[in-house]
Amino acid sequence: MDGFEPIKVAGVEVSPGERTPLVDHLLRVIEQQQAEIRALRDEINRLKGLPRRPTIRPSTLNAPHPDPSHKKKRRGKRPGSAKRQKTGELTIHETIPLPLEGLPEGAQQNGYEDFVVQDLNLEAHNVCYRRLRYLLPDGSSRTAPLPGEVQGHFGPGLRGYVL
């Protein structure tokens, strides 16, 4: 024994002093037999319809890393995670302006506020209620209310599936 670490081959530890051509040949035979037994067991499991053996990689916890910058560097946000308007890509099939009733004399329209309702028929049908907004003579503003049957951003057909 010259102080070298023993070599582990096919589950058997053999020190360098014990390695002879015959021992090397026997270890190779054992390794081939173990591989064949593993293949035969996998084939039996396949024929029985059992799941395959998982391939478990050796742990890399104790392995030294060549340099400290081995970790992935983040390059901004993940694809698709940027902020965007959720209803911006919807196809609007119908736009319904909603006027405000009972306005005082002299009220002027001051833009509108969109309220998108998603509904599901046999095909998608999205309605944009254009709630008219008015600037009142006293400086305040009022926006038209939604129709009574509108409850949230999902129509009755889609609410039946979602809720």
CA distance 4 to 9: 15
Residue 52 pLDDT > 90:
no
CA distances from 24 to 5, 6, 7 (A): 16, 14, 11
**pLDDT tens-place string over residues 60-74:** 888 776 666 655 565
Residue 138 pLDDT > 90:
yes
Give one word for 128, left, alpha or beta, with left for phi > 0 and alpha for psi -120 to 50: beta
Closest to 137 (Cα-Cα) out of 112, 111, 108:
108
Q: How confident is the model at residue 121 (pLDDT cuts 50, 70, 90)?
A: low
- pLDDT value for 149: 84
Both tokens of 94, joined, read 């119908």
